[in-house]
Amino acid sequence: MEKLKGVILQTHLDMVPQKNSDKKHDFEKDPIQTLIDGEWVKANGTTLGSDNGIGVSAALTVLASKDLPHGPIEALFTIDEETGMTGAFGLKPGFLKGDILMNLDSEDEGELYVGCAGGIDVSTTKKYTEEKSPRGMTAYRVVAKGLKGGHSGVDIALGRANSNKIMFRFLIQAEADFGIRLAEAAGGDLRNAIPRESYSVLLVPGAKAKAFEIFVKGYEKIYKAEFAETEPTLSFACKKVDIPAMVMSKADQFKIIRAIFACPNGIQRMSQAMKGLVETSNNLAIVRCIKGKFEAHNLTRSSVDSSKLATAWKIAAVFHLIDAKVTLTGSYPGWKPNMESPILKTMSGVYKKKFGKTPEIKAIHAGLECGLLGGVYPKLDMISFGPTIRFPHSPDEKVYIPSVQMFYDFLCETLKQVSAK
């Protein structure tokens, strides 16, 4: 079958390391503890790595098979997809010979993806002044936890809470009502995961301590009510701690709290071209206010490059107003759908014949590597598909076992049916 068109099976090797706060796990040393839960595979308190371990497994199985009929095959395994797509960025022209690229990195069986969002990182830093903690104050550690988090593209439309946003929403009113002094704050640890936990250490005038504790409980009730459907395990609470030696200056505290509160987050615009598709979004992924240094990291996504840049500059404008340094880096293009794609037509026909129904044709609000790879190899006929995965980039990640066999059988049948040159 050497005269058939060459097919490139493309997947990424890295995973997003997320774990619950009560789980002891070193991702660089400890194996993932997998569990079978009915018809799902999940992990014990950590991300599973099915994104994109399942794609890697499928490609390796094709390579290992001694009886699967197919034409020329190349397997392209990329590194660091989750942290900036540096592997795809490093790909050079002339390295690949195939005509068709199958990206094995989407997350709903029965769906064929023909487009994706591009992205850009918006990072902010600022040094702030510290001063000695005032006397007559009571110190508290306020913690937001129990949130679901998830993939900052795929799950951005689910209405989940962003722990950084709910923390700084609380802080802006606490500052106004109680005259708090902020010692430190932090939340989130990965640019492409919706932050699940955040904390702040702050001082309250001693005479207002009891009222402040009631105030915190009130905010927990507010958040539980607002996110009753999406965040059933949300917790927002405080406990007394030792008074820290230093706090942020009042002037810097005023600016930083308001900048985080005002920073755009979540869906910014829905697609007009494809119903139900998020066009543009931002994830306020990481915030740090520790020992005189403030930093915030955003991942902005859009299937429209001009909208991506406009949103990135809107975020930059918020932080420029507090005299922070802002950098825009790691920009990568989206993947424009081609509804006349030959591989799309072939796979639609194969799926209907094999499973008795027509697959859904979609675009995804996430950064598939197809956008970058298509920029280097503009003549590639590209498509993305995979088994059913839920809640990637969070400890709730799971893969639907029956869908894995369907996905692999579909891949194998497609390789048989790829047309000749």
Domain boundary among 277, 298, 332: 332
Query: Kind of pairing, strands 7-12 and 100-103?
Result: parallel
Residue 176's nearest CA partner among 135, 143, 222, 208 is 208
pTM for the predicted model, two decimal places? 0.80
Rounded average pLDDT per 10-residue block, the chain, 421 residues? 94 94 94 97 97 97 95 97 90 96 96 94 98 98 96 94 98 98 96 96 98 98 98 98 98 98 97 88 98 98 94 98 97 88 96 96 90 92 97 94 98 90 56
Would residue 81 show up in a list of annotated catalytic residues for this protein? yes
**Integer CA distances (angstroms), 40 to 54, 135, 203, 311, 327, in order:** 13, 55, 46, 37, 41
**Integer CA distances (angstroms), 153 to 55, 119, 274, 281, 332, in order:** 19, 10, 16, 8, 14
**Which pLDDT value is given to residue 334?**
86
Would residue 14 show up in a list of annotated catalytic residues for this protein? yes
**401-417 vs 50-64: helix crossing angle, rounded to 10:** 40
Domain co-membership, 294 together with 372: no
* Residue 2: count of CB within 10 angstroms of its CB: 6
Domain co-membership, 129 together with 278: yes
Domain co-membership, 230 together with 365: no
Is residue 90 a part of any domain in this protein? yes
Selecting among 81, 184, 231, 397, the annotated active-site residue is 81
Count of structural domains, the chain = 2
Query: Kind of pairing, strands 325-332 and 40-43?
Result: unpaired
Could you read off the pLDDT of 195-227 as tens digits, one per residue? 999 999 999 999 999 999 999 999 999 999 999
**Which pLDDT value is given to residue 421?**
56
Residue 291's φ and ψ, nearest 5 degrees, are: 50, 50
Q: Residue ranges of the alpha helices (H) in 85-180? A: 86-89, 163-178
- Domain range holding 320? 120-332
Domain co-membership, 255 together with 143: yes
**Which pLDDT value is given to residue 333?**
87
Is residue 1 a part of any domain in this protein? no
**Which pLDDT value is given to residue 420?**
66
Domain co-membership, 165 together with 108: no
Domain boundary among 301, 332, 363: 332
Domain co-membership, 268 together with 206: yes
Domain co-membership, 377 together with 354: yes
Domain co-membership, 173 together with 314: yes
Q: What is the CATH number of the domain that holds 70?
A: 3.40.630.10
Domain co-membership, 388 together with 401: yes
CA-based R_g, the chain, Å: 24
Is residue 186 a part of any domain in this protein? yes
Domain co-membership, 288 together with 383: no
| DSSP H/E element including 203 | strand 198-205
Q: Whole-angstrom Cα distance, residue 268 to residue 281?
A: 5
**Integer CA distances (angstroms), 159 to 117, 155, 320, in order:** 19, 8, 28
Q: What is the CATH number of the domain that holds 206?
A: 3.30.70.360
Selecting among 14, 80, 111, 213, the annotated active-site residue is 14
Sign of the CA dihedral running 77, 81, 82, 83: positive
Could you read off the pLDDT of 127-158 as tens digits, one per residue? 999 999 999 999 999 999 999 999 999 999 99
Domain co-membership, 285 together with 369: no
8-state DSSP, 243: P
Is residue 342 a part of any domain in this protein? yes
Residue 255's nearest CA partner among 284, 289, 285 is 289
Domain boundary among 292, 314, 332: 332
Question: HSE-up of 379 (CA within 13 Å, CB side)?
Answer: 8
Is residue 135 a part of any domain in this protein? yes
Residues 6 or more apart whose Cβ sits within 8 Å of residue 47: 15, 16, 17, 18, 19, 32, 392, 393, 394, 395, 397
Is residue 314 a part of any domain in this protein? yes
Residue type, 78: T
Domain co-membership, 328 together with 359: no
**Cα torsion for 150, 374, 90, 192, to the nearest 10°?**
-10
Is residue 2 a part of any domain in this protein? no
Is residue 215 a part of any domain in this protein? yes
* Residue 305: count of CB within 10 angstroms of its CB: 16
Tokens 């998020």 -> residue: 278
Strand, helix or coil for residue 199: strand
